[in-house]
Structure formats: C-alpha cells, structure tokens
C-alpha cells in the first residue's frame, strides 16, 4: 500500500503558506514596511537625526530586513521551483540579497545600494508593475522606430552625396546639374527634419530648393544652354579643381574634430521661427535686402542676355 498522507500534508502546508503570503493583508503590510524603510533610509543620511535616534533607526531597519527575509523564505518554500518562474519574485530575491550584503569593510561602498529596497514597490503595486511591463513590451517597437530613423537617415545621406557628385561631375548638361542640386537640397532637408531642426528643413526647401535653384533653372532655360561650351581641357581642370577642393575640405573637417570643445547649451527658443524672423528683420535686415537686390540683378541680367541672343 502506497503512503500518501505525509506528501499530501506537505503539499497542503505549501498551499496554505502560499495563500497566506499572497493574501491582501500581508501584501499591504509589506508595502507599508517598504515605505517605512524608505523613510528610515532617508533619515539615516542626516548626521543630526543619527546622533539623536541612530540606534532606533538601525534597529527598525534590521527588523524590516528580517520581515523581508521571512517573506521571501516563505515564498520560496511555498512555491518551490515555481518561485523562479515569476520574474518579479526573482527581482524581489535579488533586492533582498543586496540588502543582506554587509556594509562594513571593503563592501562599505555597497551601503548606497540599500535604497534599492524601495524598488520592491514596483513588484508589490499592480499599477506600477503594469507600467514597467508595458515599457518592457514597448522596447521592440521603440527599437523598430529607431531602426527606421537610421534607415531614413542613411537613405537621405546617400541621396545627398550621390546628387552632389552628380551636380559636380555632370558638366555636359547644365539642367541636369541644377536638378541634381535640387535633389541635394531636398535630401539635406530630410536629414535636418530627422535631427529635429524643422526650421532649417523648411528653409532648405523654400529658400534653396524652392527659390535659388529654381532661379538657376529659370536662367539656364532662359539662356537656352543646350550644349556644353567649355573646352575639354577646361572641363578636366574643373574636375581636378573640384576634387582638390573636396580633399581640402575633408582634411579641414577632420582636423576640426580633434580640437572640439564642449558645445554650450542653446537658450530656450534658439533656432525657432520667432527668433530667426526677429534676427532677419532687425540685425540682418540690410543683408537680406542686399541679397534680394543681387537676385533681382541676376534676373534682369539673364533677361537682357536672353533678349540679345534672341534678337
């Protein structure tokens, strides 16, 4: 005959202990002790309070740690191996194990880790636990968004580089070179948009791609530049000069990175629409008007040259 009495009594005692330690009254009591322990740990940082009530605070701290050890021991006995199936139980076990590390001798530096006991509130309060679990579940989505931003940044960077090279090397077709410049400006606007510089992105499209480059195309088409009038020797000289200028610019940029100093924090509103607008029409209004006159002179010159060629 198989004897199952002791085994069943053992299982019954485990179930009773599990139901007792998970009861709302016990859980609320543990939460109160965690809050009290957080207050006592804060008071222990004051030399005045420790001089007056230091022994009482240390005794209360030891009592709270003892209660935590009893609670986690009961959970270990009641749940056995299932205890480790719940990550919050493992979290509580680690926190209590850190609290038991002696804070004297070479391990005195770990004394500051005692405040980690307050983190047990996360596992004890359902709403806090729900927030933490939601954040952990959102990590894959956040990483996917980050990957998408990196991918867009890479695409815009490649587009800007390829179109810039097309603008420099395409000397046989002036219209295509100007269109490559438009693509470069739009790509740079996308990069600024990803970096959060929305005003600079809008300026890249409205001022550069939408005004200056369009003016270039207007002048090119108005002058009817169908063929390249540069000699082969001059074309070769332009390409070599462009390559040398590019190498010089890259070397200067690399040298500047070695002597970088910490960038000061920008004031509130820096680079915004209001600040830029006020600066343009107060401090830099003369430069803005000069630039507009230069563009007007370029348009008038293009019209005169076109009229002469047509006549």
Query: CA angle at residue 290 from 288 to 296, to 5 degrees?
Result: 105
Rounded mean pLDDT for each run of 10 residues along the chain, 311 residues in total: 53 79 80 80 80 83 83 82 79 77 61 65 76 83 88 91 81 75 87 84 80 69 58 68 80 70 67 76 86 83 71 58
Q: How far is CA 23 from CA 17, 19, 28, 29, in A?
A: 10, 6, 9, 10
| Global pTM exceeds 0.85 | no
Q: What was the pLDDT predicted at 1? A: 41
Name the region of 272 (left: φ>0; alpha: ψ -120 to 50; beta: rest): beta
Q: Taking the chain, what is the end-to-end CA distance rounded to the nearest angstrom?
A: 122
How far is C-alpha 141 from the chain's CA centre? 14
Describe the chain by its helix, strand, coil percentages, rounded to 5: 85, 0, 15
């Amino acid at each position: 005959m198989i004897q199952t009495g002791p085994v069943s009594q053992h299982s019954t005692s485990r179930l009773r202990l599990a139901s007792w330690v998970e009861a709302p009254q016990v859980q609320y009591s543990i939460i109160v002790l965690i809050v009290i322990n957080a207050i006592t740990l804060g008071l222990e940082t004051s030399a005045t309070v420790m001089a007056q009530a230091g022994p009482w605070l240390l005794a209360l701290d030891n009592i709270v740690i003892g209660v935590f050890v009893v609670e986690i021991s009961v959970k270990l006995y009641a749940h056995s191996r299932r205890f480790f199936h719940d990550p919050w139980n493992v979290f509580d076990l680690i926190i209590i194990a850190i609290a038991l590390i002696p804070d004297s001798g070479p391990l005195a530096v770990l004394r500051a880790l005692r405040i980690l006991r307050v983190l047990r509130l996360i596992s004890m309060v359902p709403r806090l636990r729900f927030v933490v679990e939601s954040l952990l579940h959102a990590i894959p989505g956040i990483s996917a968004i980050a990957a998408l931003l990196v991918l867009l940044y890479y695409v815009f960077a490649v587009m800007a580089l390829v179109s810039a090279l097309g603008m420099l090397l395409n000397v046989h077709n002036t219209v295509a070179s100007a269109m490559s410049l438009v693509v470069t400006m739009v790509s740079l606007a996308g990069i600024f948009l990803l970096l959060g510089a929305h005003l600079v992105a809008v300026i890249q499209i409205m001022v550069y791609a939408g005004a200056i480059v369009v003016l270039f195309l207007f002048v090119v088409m108005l002058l009817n530049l169908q063929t390249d009038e540069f000699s082969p020797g001059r074309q070769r000289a332009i390409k070599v000069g462009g390559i040398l200028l590019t190498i010089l610019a890259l070397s200067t940029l690399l040298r500047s990175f070695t002597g970088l100093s910490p960038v000061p924090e920008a004031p509130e509103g820096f680079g915004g629409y209001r600040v830029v607008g006020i600066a343009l029409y107060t401090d830099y209004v003369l430069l803005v008007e000069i630039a507009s006159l230069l563009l007007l002179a370029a348009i008038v010159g293009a019209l005169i040259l076109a009229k002469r060629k047509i006549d």
